[in-house]
Structure 1
């Protein structure tokens, strides 16, 4: 199979889907790998390093998409890339189809095959291709909180650390998953009073064993959340809100409970999701103010740490990408039910239930699309 490694064009996106060592794995199996010129520069990989592992460097995105059968990338297909989608082209990346209706339209119109990292799951019900980026996003979200709490960046001037003789700041984290644990690890290490809220008691039990005693673990009910909102200095949202839900965990009205000039860091970046007032921002323009509360809702936090992120992401996605290349996409999807869950579009049909519900459009199961059921 001809595999194309695309150069990301999203604002301030420096990651690349595949490391030179990853390219070597494709080449060893007899596949051809095309790498768009300078695709790895932002992550510290030169064109020469890819060539040394058997890749061919192509000059333009147009050439890459035209020659490739399988596009392996990091971020969703952007408007400038819509023209490259075509029938039988396989795209394996973070797609977030529910949040990008026009992108979904283009996948369906072109009949391209889209497989979304964020919807692939494992035997434990987890999301293995989200996990490595979630940890980095959680930690990066707390680093952002440190930055945007500073007065020189428009914050309230509170140092998010334990300082003798001064009130210790309080950090509230919604969700004890990978992002929440990553955020809590750093926030606690700085000496803050940290509270994690979650409805999953197993997650809270796990957090108890790996986090220090200055992390309070609370069941996430309405009263506990309200109590936390009243006292918190930073609220970090680290839960994925179901895509079809129209209600919110933290409504606009509830923001009035938070101290003025405090900070919300929405790591999950579900627009109008768990946090009603959240809307995605970029590294160039990362914050805005709603109801007197500063919001940081950058939707690609790991891109700020591309060397770490690229290695971590490639380690997670490469085994699935190799299955697609080795077996062909249809057989790989039939053989691997976990990969199949990530199928978003197939030959002009929407195959992701959540997007169908969110966008109120028809969808079918991946199994039906693949001919596995009548």
Structure 2
């Protein structure tokens, strides 16, 4: 198979889908790899390293023209729409339920598109989100360290324990990978850390991973309200159901918080768990609502691009190789958990959440792929 790796064009996105070591694995398996010039530069991987690994360096148009599968990091953006063509395989983070224009383009062009974030494992978890979730959580706390500083219009608190002054409180919503990542750094700096989650099993697991300066609370409304009053930083790390009505933290709730305190919305769903959230960029990361600073950068891991690229390639490459080695239909037909990531298949919308969001016709992935019961025995 011919694999194409374009340079990411999203603003402030420095990651690349494939490392030179990953190229070597494709080449050893008999595949051709086309890398756009300077695609890896932002992560410290230069064209010469890709050439040595066996890749062909070319321009964007040539990458898309020659590739049977496009392997990338972020969603398809308007300048890339013209490259979409029938039967082209797209493997990336898509977030199709947040972008109807892109959804329409991918449907009309009859591509096959698989989203990292929707692939599951046998435990119902999302393995391709895990490494970026951890980085996003840790990066979210690092952002809090930065934007709490007075020179960045913060409240002037150093988020660490200092003798003689009150220890800051860092509150974290969600005890998943992002939440634990943020809590690991915040607690190591000596802060009073509070984690809220509705899943008692996750809280019990966190108990054995984190130190004693971390308080673990059931995420009831009363506990959330009390935590909002105490928090110097509130970090949101939960994925919000896009079909849910209402929010977890409402605009009026911000009046409960200390003036000048900071919300870091790692999940950054616009008007999602936090009503006042709207995605920002690394260039202009912070805005103020109701006297509360908001940091809502939607690609936090891009700031740590080399680490993020290595982590992302480690987890996505085995899936990409399955597609390349077996063909997309066989790879998805043989693995029901991998198949959950199928969003678009040759003009059919196969992700239920996106179909519901935009009131579009939904096709079950098994029907789209033509899988019959005998195939699954």
TM-score range, shorter chain: over 0.9
Q: Does 1:86 align with 2:69?
A: no
1:98 alignment partner, SS class: helix
Please give the per-residue CA displacement for 1:318-355, whole angstroms capped at 9, x wherever unaligned. 00000000111111110111111111111111111111
Match of residue 221 from structure 1: 220
Distance in 1 (alpha carbons) for counterparts of 2:194 and 2:114: 35
Match of residue 335 from structure 2: 336
Match of residue 4 from structure 1: 4
Match of residue 300 from structure 1: 299
Match of residue 57 from structure 2: 57
How far apart are residue 266 of structure 1 and its match? 0.4
How far apart are residue 373 of structure 1 and its match? 5.1
Equivalent pair of 1:244/1:355 in contact (CA under 8 Å):
no
1:239-258 correspondence to structure 2 within 5 Å? 239-258=238-257
Match of residue 362 from structure 1: 361
Match of residue 13 from structure 1: 13
TM-score normalised according to structure 2 size: 0.97
2:106 alignment partner, SS class: helix
1:1-374 correspondence to structure 2 within 5 Å? 1-58=1-58, 60-372=59-371
Deviates more, 1:240-249 or 1:207-216: 240-249
Residues 242 and 275 (structure 1), Cα distance of their counterparts in 2 relative to 1, 3 Å cut: same
Equivalent pair of 1:266/1:278 in contact (CA under 8 Å):
yes
Deviates more, 1:250-259 or 1:8-17: 250-259
Equivalent pair of 1:168/1:193 in contact (CA under 8 Å):
yes
Distance in 1 (alpha carbons) for counterparts of 2:338 and 2:289: 39
Aligned-residue CA RMSD in angstroms?
Answer: 1.0
How far apart are residue 210 of structure 1 and its match? 0.7
Distance in 2 (alpha carbons) for counterparts of 1:188 and 1:33: 43
Distance in 1 (alpha carbons) for counterparts of 2:311 and 2:40: 14
Distance in 1 (alpha carbons) for counterparts of 2:64 and 2:231: 48
Distance in 2 (alpha carbons) for counterparts of 1:348 and 1:251: 39
2:187 alignment partner, SS class: helix
2:212 alignment partner, SS class: coil
Equivalent pair of 1:243/1:355 in contact (CA under 8 Å):
no
Distance in 1 (alpha carbons) for counterparts of 2:343 and 2:22: 24
2:208 alignment partner, SS class: helix
How far apart are residue 63 of structure 1 and its match? 1.1
Please give the per-residue CA displacement for 1:56-76, whole angstroms capped at 9, x wherever unaligned. 111x21111011010000001
Equivalent pair of 1:256/1:291 in contact (CA under 8 Å):
yes
Distance in 2 (alpha carbons) for counterparts of 1:106 and 1:193: 47
Number of residue pairs aligned between Structure 1 and Structure 2: 373
Distance in 1 (alpha carbons) for counterparts of 2:341 and 2:320: 12
TM-score normalised according to structure 1 size: 0.98
Deviates more, 1:76-85 or 1:242-251: 242-251
2:75 alignment partner, SS class: coil
Please give the per-residue CA displacement for 1:279-337, whole angstroms capped at 9, x wherever unaligned. 11110111111111111010000000011001100000000000000111111110111
Please give the per-residue CA displacement for 1:102-129, whole angstroms capped at 9, x wherever unaligned. 1111101111111100111111111110
Please give the per-residue CA displacement for 1:204-242, whole angstroms capped at 9, x wherever unaligned. 111000100000001111111111011111110001011
How far apart are residue 359 of structure 1 and its match? 2.0
Distance in 2 (alpha carbons) for counterparts of 1:369 and 1:276: 37
How far apart are residue 7 of structure 1 and its match? 0.6
How far apart are residue 246 of structure 1 and its match? 2.5
Distance in 1 (alpha carbons) for counterparts of 2:359 and 2:285: 30
